[in-house]
Amino acid sequence: MNKLSLSYGRMALCALTVATGLVAMANGASATPQLTKDNGAPVGDNQHSQTAGPNGPVLLQDVHLVQKLQRFDRERIPERVVHARGAGAHGSFTATEDLGELTQAKLFTKGKVTPVFVRFSTVIGGSGSTETARDPRGFATKFYTEEGNWDLVGNNLPVFFIRDAMKFPDMVHSLKPDPVTNTGDPQRAFDFFSHIPESTHMLTRVYSNYGIPANYREMNGSSVHALKFVNAQGRYTYVKFAWKSRQGERNLRPAEVAAQQAKSTNHATADLYEAIRKGQFPAWDLTVQLIKPEDLGKFDFDPLDPTKVWTGVPERKVGTMVLDRVPDNFFEASEQVALAPGNLVPGIEASEDRLLQGRLFSYIDTQHHRLGANFQSLPINKPLVPVVNHQQDGAGNISGRKGSVNYEPSRLAPLPASPHARSSALPLSGATQQQGIAKTLNFRQAGEFYRSLGKQDQDDLIANLSGDLKRVTDKDILHTMLSHFWKADAGYGQRLAKAVGADAEAIAKLAATLKE
């Protein structure tokens, strides 16, 4: 799919608009747009309700009044439970390498241009929350490819708090406001994370200055999860994706956060849209890291664990994305865009990452809840290629399907599948189970990240994290959390213990009992 296809679509839309106008004028209507009801009928009076005489009650037969109130009452769709606060922009992705030896995905053909829509977001806060919150940032990209839509759904940080989707609802509940007071409470979050040692790496990154990016343009992105590239022979390679900002990466220090909050709670959205309107189109390079299936067991950590980065695995640039258009309607684009890691195309598959496996269901399900069964027919979600299947009916269906055959297989109206789109074969052994992964290594990468920071960034991390730890009144929770950070790096733990006035010797003894 290329820019010519987009231009063709826009030309068709313009032709339809002109044709509609010609019909209107042929019927004697004015060329100037006029106010209408939802059925297209003109409105006679938009200032006064119909009443029974000059002093009587308002009449139910005033269809225009009733319709306005009905639609007003239904303007809000359910807010996203997570990633509610966000903003999006249109653009394009240009492949700079041909990856045919690795994947059948046609967007990775050198020189191919694929339209995209990107939605940036915070995670925990509601739709009216501040964009200076300490929080991961969503970085989700919808590629409108010639074989359907591919959604690369990720964050600005390369890891996550948990490794199993079973924990996801509880994690979010702990981070959301207290259900009694409706206010945030770090003790509730740390109470949860004190039982989840794998969270140490992500917590260290979130409480560093990377936890509050300066804006969306100067922010990197990551798939977090491993996916699979699958080639024409059905052979697969594990892959992680990362977006590298061409504007550079910049984050806010504690004093800068306070200054920004005093000026605006919408700074990131305003910065993105203002840059695009000025023609300063932000760009990101897309890179991949690759691991062959036979090499998966050679690491001393589990590469499919989303709490880990792939240390020592080289990155390879495969394309560049440019955002160059602000949506005409914020709600129709940024609020109704439905991004889900289950939206995959031939040549790209999900890995066995346990958190990703749960998200394959959860993200599609939440879009069905928010937007209805036909959410993928909305313009922002609609693929550029025809959708041909026997899904049918439901609220808001505009598919226009025809014919008596709404099933498959059929001799009356054959609808064959595409053999090249079959799933790859995964060798399996063993029995079903419910237990953790073997190679946990919960603390080491957190320590490595801490030591990679410069002195000023380390100081800011200690200040940011200790500020919330001081609000923990339960001694067991506090000491357990401090022992996790101590296990990651003794100097890191010592500084935090001192900052919150905890017994360093007791923390050291507790850390010594932890398994790496």
Catalytically annotated residues: 83, 155
CA 174 to chain centre: 20
Q: Which two tokens stand for residue 486?
A: 């101590």
Q: Are 252 and 212 in contact (CB under 8 A)?
A: yes
- In 40-112, at which residue ranges do the beta strands (DSSP E only) sit? 86-95
Q: How many other C-beta atoms can be found within 10 angstroms of the C-beta atom of residue 330?
A: 14
Query: Which string of b and e fits 264-287 if b means at least 16 CB within 10 Å?
Result: ebebbbebbbebbeeeeebbbbbb
Helices (H), 200-333: 200-207, 254-263, 267-277, 330
Place of tokens 């959390």: 481
For helices 475-488 and 200-207, angle between their N-to-C axes, nearest 10 degrees = 90
Could you give phi then psi for residue 355, rounded to 5 degrees? -70, -45
For residue 456, what are the contacts with CB-CB under 8 A and spacing of at least 6? 253
Q: Are 336 and 371 in contact (CB under 8 A)?
A: yes
Amino acid at 506: A
For residue 169, what are the contacts with CB-CB under 8 A and spacing of at least 6? none
Helices (H), 74-199: 168-175, 186-193
The Cα–Cα gap between 380 and 393 comes to 20
* Per-residue 3-state assignment (H helix, E strand, C coil) for 24-36: HHHCCCCCCCCCE
The Cα–Cα gap between 75 and 85 comes to 17
Under DSSP, is residue 117 helix (H, G, I), strand (E, B) or coil?
strand
Amino acid at 231: N
Q: Among 505, 508, 471, 464, which Cα is nearest to 489's? A: 508
Q: Which two tokens stand for residue 209?
A: 């200055």
- In 146-263, at which residue ranges do the beta strands (DSSP E only) sit? 148-155, 221-222, 227-230, 236-245
